[in-house]
Amino acid sequence: MGRMKLLSNCINNATGAVEGFCVVRSVQVKSNVKGADYLDLVIADAGGEVNAKLWDYSAAAHGSYAVGDIIKVRGTVNLWKDIEQLKVDRIRHRRPDEQIDMSGIAACAPIDGEEMFDRIMQTASAFGDPDLALLTQYLLKSRREAIAVYPAALKLHHAERYGLMFHTGTMLEMAKKAVEVYKPLYPELSEDLVYAGIILHDIAKTEELDVGELGIATAYSVRGQLMGHINMGVCMVEQAAAELQTPRELTTLIEHILLAHHGQPEYGSPKFPMFPEAEIVSEIDMLDARMYEMFDALAEVEVGQFTERQWALDNRQLYRHGHAGVKRDDR
């Protein structure tokens, strides 16, 4: 895990002292060998997260804290078993009158969520199939506030503010390139189905995840745990299609794309993709997730070094080669 931005920007290099706002990612009250309580936290900002300890903890003196709370801490950075740890000296909740730049506390995708939402809506409005355009826009509009801000995951790829729009927007741009290649070769390919499938494939993340004001997921919802976003997404499409009287076959095609977009049963899909548009959505979803995971992991190592093994990438180690591909001069 990378050093937190508050540790790198607000740290006194001579003393290791640090002070800043952050968010609570996990918190437990524990007891040491002498029976004294201490607070064991993981706190985070936009740059990463770190374990923190508040010794001699008392709820009456220090307050109580929960996951998702925005707090201000003051302490000292120490190394424990070669891992950075923050010894907390002072801790408090953010005051209502304190103005904070949320982008400094929560990891944010490099886009404007509202702007990306509008671009995706424009794509949906341009569908040649009016029923598919109506269904897709209806589902987007019904969840606009959440879709524009939510992350795409609790952990792993695109688990950041605006992550859902970042993931969906990137996939959509990739799909447009794929259609440019394959449509002339296979005229029966439906670009509307491809684009709608991409726009809607993760729409149920807005109900699967519990997300606070920072736009970061803190947990799965009860329904999300019990059903998962694939099944929930199919239910959302089914309900909307019934209200809009969307043709049955068209509804089934979109539902299949959602059911199959993880590609294989071990990744959560109850069906393999069974027509070309579903295959395109599934492959682009996997590629975009893996590109995010790879570049995120590689950012933690220097050129010429390998990452630690990445569980989300088949336990592979990744190599940062440093060859960016310099453009040749025109001759």
pLDDT over threshold 80, residue 39: yes
pLDDT over threshold 70, residue 326: no
Across the range 15-44, mean pLDDT stands at 87
**C-alpha pair distances (Å), 266 with each of 21, 203, 260, 288:** 40, 21, 12, 19
pLDDT of residue 225: 92
pLDDT of residue 48: 77
Across the range 106-117, mean pLDDT stands at 89
pLDDT over threshold 60, residue 57: yes
pLDDT of residue 1: 34
pLDDT over threshold 50, residue 3: no
pLDDT over threshold 60, residue 258: yes
| pLDDT grade for 123, boundaries at 50, 70 and 90 | very high
pLDDT of residue 329: 61
Q: What is the CATH number of domain 5-103?
A: 2.40.50.140
pLDDT over threshold 60, residue 269: yes
Looking at every residue in the chain, the average pLDDT score rounds to 89
pLDDT over threshold 90, residue 196: yes
What percent of the chain is predicted at pLDDT more than 90? Answer: 63
The predicted model scores a pTM of 0.80
pLDDT over threshold 50, residue 33: yes
